[in-house]
Structure 1
Amino acid sequence: MKSTLHVLGLGPAGLESMTLGTYRLILSADKVFVRTFSHPCVQDLLREGAKLESFDEYYEQGESFEEVYEKIVRRLETELKKHVEVIYAVPGHPAVAERSVQLIVDKLSLQFNVLLHPSVSFLDSIFTAVPLDPIQGVLIRNYDALKGSGLTGKEWLIIPQVYSSFIASDVKLDLMDVYPDEAPAIIVQALGTPEQVVQKVKLYELDHQKFDHLTTVLVPPHKDVISMVKLQDVMRTLRAPGGCPWDREQTHETLKPYLIEESYEVLEAIEQKDMYNLTEELGDLLLQVIFHAQLAHEAEEFEFDDILRGIIHKLIHRHPHVFGDVHVDNSEEVLQNWEEIKKQEKGEERAKGWFHFPQALPALMLATKTQKAVAKVGFDWPDQEGPIAKVREEIQELQEAMESGEGIQEEFGDILFALVNLARFLKLDPEDSLRKGVHKFQNRFEKMAELAFDNGEKLENMTLEEMDFYWEKAKIYEKSGKFIET
């Protein structure tokens, strides 16, 4: 016969919040454990003559709550092997914000009978202490689970057991990442007892108050919370009747130039290592995604959640070495797996052609992707000598085309294509290489103009030979970091 563990809830306050069934079970039992003596109901029970043992010493000795809860589970397991019935009582409701109970159910329910008894939770008292109707929406988060939890500000946020000013400080900082600094917050202490206190403060003042193990923090709904939901709301407002005339006129087609422009502005911020500007430019790029999603929503084509669902599924499915049991040794194997999975996903579509990427890519990028695609089946040079020879050959053919006056553009394109191939063998990004070369030229030209101006001359009034004099000076300045007379 299996021993039985009764998991009871003590309610949020004293004996008056405990159910009669729980009260009788505790007084009649031989072995009763409470998670902590630091609870009004436990103190009332002790005065009633109940025989209780607590796990407070585990909290005093443990380095983490998880370690404490593991010790509690092991102790209860030991006691259940000795006794037919054991009681474990926790503050509030056993199924609300009780990590120790979750572990007990997970680890002991197969070996023993584990019965959870209903009780009044701290939420019942919260709903009366604060003018809060849960129909408005309620989000309950532990103090250490606020970061990255997708707060939207559309619902009441309840944070139980904020038991110290140190914890309150962490809560404040986490919330101020998304809520305005002056957003209202409500601190409830001694919930459900005659000493109950409800205090309203500004969020930035949160950790200036006093806290104990019976303290709960609430944050009402707030329209200015920074979230993806807020961004979607703003975009929806701009597109709605009475919104922005320009935004209302846009279509997928009219937005195409802005998507390209914003993408390149992100690249520029990265190249300049300007993190402040990168933040802004990534926001502008994200706006394009939200804008297109809103247009699709209005046309009933797809939703923003479909975008999220697709990319989440793709990332998980194409990273089996992270989310599955596939083993890889390096990034090359990761890319091989990625392409193989991609082929499986595309199915028959892949068999229709080799070049399954946008043909409207910038020319250098299009050339690179094309060469990589054919190289996968072995259509490639064995080493870099091949592409070097090909560059020389294409230059000769261009010279011949120039002499004949025919096929000049075609031969020039062949040179560029051959150079891209050489860049691939040298493990260089041709797009990035050309951009750096352009910037190098721009900087040198600017320096040349500056040197001429400092010498009382303007480029517009100079011959090519005179400009070349300053060009060479600019090159020397560039290499040495300072101007050298020549």
Structure 2
Amino acid sequence: MSATITVVGLGSGDPDRLTLGSLKRLQEAGERYVRTKDHPVVDWLEQTGVSFVSFDEVYEAKDDFPSVYEEIVARLLSRAEAGGDGENIVYAVPGHPQVAEATVKRLRERCPERGIGLDIIGGESFLDEAFVRLGFDPIEGFLLLDASEVSGAAIDPRRHTLIGQVYDQLTASEVKLGLMELLPDDYLVVVGHALGVAGQERIERVPLFELDRIDGYGNLSVVYVPASEDETLRIRSFQRLHEIVSILRSPGGCPWDREQTHESIRKNLIEETYEVLETIDDDDPDHMREELGDLLLQIMLHSQMEEETGAFSVYDVIQELNEKLIYRHPHVFGNLSAEDAEAALNNWEAMKAEEKKRKGIEPERQSAISGVPRDLPALMKAYKLQKKAAKAGFDWENINGVWSKLEEEIRELREAVAQKQDPESQELELGDVLFSVVNAARYIGADPEQALSRTIRKFTSRFHYVEDRLREQGKTPGDSTLAEMDVLWDEAKSKERE
């Protein structure tokens, strides 16, 4: 049998707060360990004759805290296994053993696995002193974070937030940057050093931007972010966006928003998507930020409509997306590997096929060209259909076949026009030409939608140049000859090459 490990909480720092029961256990123990001697209660105990073996040298030997904690736990477990039945090893930790104490968490996980008894005796945590000294009631809404976990996503300004493990100015700087993702630079925060410890306590209120400019950080330091009802502080949060859209669609919200349906705003989704694409083409980040917001609004509105019927909410949308991203990237979140983009794409397609099987869809019984959205723009749809057909083996052996087919379709279009066939027949022949051009684009590795978009932008730029030059001459395209405009057109082309 192994010895038992008894974990004792040393409290927040004031020896007067150490319970009588804990003191007796410490005094009676034959073998005592302490995670760190950097604690006021340890100094007091050693003055009374209660000595400890500390793990402070582990902090100096290891490069990071997780490694420190692993080493401490390994030593305690090894010592317990070497002990005999009935032997008790006392391990003392600052504060309460169950509050922000990583070594105790690991002991709780591993002692049962190795048949080692574990007894935990609580103590006053730094939270008890924080509630008293900083003057807030946790029932109003309270969040406790480790300094390494602070980010805009983790913070809710409506809750009191206490941040522990702020050991030094570097850690304080990381906390500051995390808080600044959501809060303004001048938001008042409170730094508490050695709360409740007579002669050592220091409480400072500073604007957030000065958080890492003050001295005195150590093992007994915490940062307190007071709660606020100011809704502008939540303006960067997704939860606030969800609330706003919900309010707009509510009985007391906007009459126009309440009347909309999936069908009535269907076109908006398409229009906003194209406006985003325009900002990408223009390499305009500021405008892109705005247009991405407009596109997100459409997604929020459609999700809100379904939430009102009880079908799903936007959080269900997010959950399904997160699950899909994790599942389809086994080379990132799983055990597979992908050395390049092609391998990653193959993993994606394999997991996508597996998803279909789970849903009862048999990919082998589906058409090779299925899965292309019905309402895609025709040029884009033709490109995707051809790629799928080519993947199934329905493709030219080389680009010569593409040229021959394109020449054939152009000839048939010319004949249809020359023979003055009906408009529908001529339109069909034109469609065949465009479809063949898309095949050529695919063979040279070009996206036909992007290629045509670039040509349209080039045409627009040149035509605007022609208009501007004519305007300088007091003319418009309507009262100019084609020859005059051709000269200016060639001039625009020359300037592009400069």
Q: TM-score, normalised by structure 2?
A: 0.89
Closer/same/farther in 2, CA of residues 420 and 342 from structure 1, 3 Å limit: same
CA drift at 1:210:
3.8
How far apart are 1:344 and its partner, in Å? 3.7
Shift of 1:294: 1.7
* 1:399-452 per-position Cα deviation (integer Å, ceiling 9, x unaligned): 011122221100111111111111111111111010001011111222233344
| Range with bigger deviation, 149-158 or 106-115 | 106-115
**2: CA distance between counterparts of 1:97 and 1:30?**
27
The 3-state SS of whatever aligns with 2:265 is helix
Displacement of 1:250 after TM fit?
Answer: 2.4
Cα 1:234–1:444, aligned 2, differ >3 Å: closer, same or farther? Answer: same
Write the deviation string for residues 30-65 of structure 1: whole angstroms up to 9, x where unpaired: 221212222122122122210112223333454322
Residue 90 of structure 1 and its aligned partner are, at CA, apart by: 0.9
Instruction: Report the Cα distance in structure 2 between the residues aligned to 1:470 and 1:237, rounded to whole angstroms.
Output: 55
Kept in 2, the 8 Å contact 1:152–1:230? The answer is no
Q: How far does residue 455 in structure 1 lie from its aligned partner after superposition?
A: 5.2
Q: Which residue of 2 aligns with 1:86?
A: 89
> Are residue 361 (structure 1) and residue 376 (structure 2) matched?
yes
2:487 equivalent to 1:474: no
Residue 370 (str. 1) matches residue 370 (str. 2): no
Which position in structure 1 is the counterpart of 2:216? Answer: 211
Q: Which consecutive residues of structure 2, in runs of 5 or more, have no partner in the other structure?
A: none
Corresponding position of 2:146: 142
Give the Cα separation in 2 of the matches to 1:151 and 1:262: 31
* Matched position secondary structure for 2:306: helix
Q: Are residues 117 and 285 of structure 1, via their aligned partners in 2, closer, same or farther at CA, if it must alter by over 3 Å?
A: same
For the Cα contact (< 8 Å) 2:152–2:178, is it kept in 1? no
In the alignment, is residue 7 of structure 1 matched against residue 7 of structure 2?
yes
Match of 1:484 in 2: none
Q: Which moved further from structure 2: 416-425 or 232-241?
A: 232-241
SS at match of 1:89: strand
Contact 2:8 2:122 in 1 (8 A): yes
Q: Which residue of 1 aligns with 2:268?
A: 258
Matched, 1:176 2:180: yes
Partner of 1:253: helix, strand, or coil?
Answer: coil
**Separation in 1, partners of 2:254, 2:277:** 29
Question: SS in structure 1 opposite 2:51?
Answer: coil
Residue 468 (structure 1) shift: 0.7
SS of residue in 1 equivalent to 2:209? helix
Structure 2 Cα separation of the partners of residues 332 and 56 of structure 1: 50
State the alpha-carbon separation in 2 of the partners of residues 324 and 206 from structure 1.
Answer: 39
Alpha-carbon distance change, 230 to 263 in structure 1, aligned in 2, over 3 angstroms: same
Shift in alpha-carbon separation, 1:329–1:52, aligned structure 2, 3 A: closer
Q: Determine whether 1:404 maps to 2:419.
A: yes
**Paired amino acid for 1:315:** L
Map Cα deviations across residues 83-129 of structure 1 (whole Å, 9 max, x no partner).
44322211111121112333444455533333333222222332333
Residue 199 and residue 239 in structure 1: after superposition, are their counterparts in 2 closer, same or farther (change >3 A)?
Answer: farther
Q: Is the 8 A contact 1:172 1:204 kept in 2?
A: yes
Cα separation, 1, equivalents of 2:350 and 2:65: 44
Matched ranges for 1:327-366 at <5 A: 327-346=337-356, 347-348=360-361, 351=365, 353=367, 354-366=369-381
Match of 1:45 in 2: 45
Please tell me whether residue 393 in structure 1 is matched to residue 408 in structure 2.
Answer: yes
Contact 2:2 2:82 in 1 (8 A): no
SS at match of 1:144: helix
Matched residues, number:
480
Amino acid at match of 1:59: Y
Name the CA shift for 1:327/1:204 in 2 (closer, same or farther; >3 Å): closer
SS at match of 1:12: coil
Distance in 2 between the 1:45 and 1:338 partners?
A: 61
CA distance in 2, matches of 1:139, 1:179: 16
The unaligned stretches of length 5 or more in structure 1 are: 482-486
* 1:432 aligned onto 2:450: yes
1:301 aligned onto 2:311: yes
Preserved CA contact (<8 Å) 1:14 1:44: no
Equivalents in 1 of 2:78, 2:354: separation in Å?
A: 52
Partner amino acid, structure 2, of 1:207: D
* Identity value in percent: 40
Alpha-carbon separation, structure 2, partners of 1:197 and 1:244:
51
Q: Secondary structure at the match of 2:147?
A: coil
Shifted more, 135-144 versus 103-112: the winner is 103-112
Aligned counterparts of 1:153 and 1:417: Cα–Cα separation in 2:
56
Distance in 2, Cα, partners of 1:431 & 1:16? 76
Whether 1:272 and 2:278 are equivalent positions in the alignment is no
Write the deviation string for residues 193-247 of structure 1: whole angstroms up to 9, x where unpaired: 3354544443334334443321211213343232111211222232234433333
Q: Give me the whole-angstrom Cα distance separating, in 1, the residues matched to 2:299 and 2:37.
A: 54
Label 1:335 to 1:120 Cα distance change in 2 as closer, same or farther (>3 A): same
Given the superposition, is the C-alpha separation of residues 329 and 169 from structure 1 closer, same or farther in structure 2, using an over 3 Å criterion? closer
Cα distance in 2 for residues equivalent to 1:118 and 1:130: 22
Helix, strand or coil for the counterpart of 2:149? coil
1:220 alignment counterpart: 226
The structural deviation recorded for 1:453 is 4.1
CA shift in 2, pair 1:182/1:254, >3 Å: farther
Query: What is the distance in 1 between the residues matched to 2:132 and 2:458?
Result: 69
Q: In the alignment, which of 303, 308, 325 is matched to residue 315 of structure 1?
A: 325
1:155 alignment counterpart: 159
8 Å CA contact 1:35–1:54 kept in 2: the answer is yes
Could you say if the C-alpha distance between residues 381 and 152 of structure 1 is closer, same or farther in structure 2, counting changes exceeding 3 Å? farther
Supply the distance in 2 between the matched residues of 1:27 and 1:345 (Cα, whole angstroms): 62
Q: Which residue of 2 aligns with 1:16?
A: 16
Judged with a 3 Å threshold, the aligned counterparts in structure 2 of structure 1 residues 206 and 336 are, in CA distance, closer, same or farther, namely closer
Q: 1:206 to 1:240 in 2, by over 3 A?
A: farther
Q: In 2, Cα distance between the equivalents of 1:323 and 1:161?
A: 29
**Do the aligned residues in 2 keep the contact of 1:187 with 1:199 (CA within 8 Å)?**
yes
* CA–CA distance in structure 1, aligned partners of residues 456 and 179 of structure 2: 45
Q: Does the 8 Å contact 2:152/2:181 carry over to 1?
A: no
2:243 aligned with 1:233 = yes
Matches of 1:246 and 1:429 in 2, distance apart? 39
Root-mean-square deviation (Å): 2.5
C-alpha distance in structure 1 between counterparts of 2:174 and 2:346, whole Å: 43
Q: Is the 8 A contact 1:162 1:211 kept in 2?
A: no
- The separation in 2 between residues aligned to 1:238 and 1:296, in whole angstroms, is 15
Question: What do the CA deviations read for 1:266-314 (whole angstroms, capped 9, x no partner)?
Answer: 2222222222322222222222222222222122221112101111111
Aligned to 1:56: 56
Report the CA distance shift for 1:345/1:55 in structure 2 as closer, same or farther (over 3 A): closer
Q: Which amino acid is 1:164 matched to? A: D
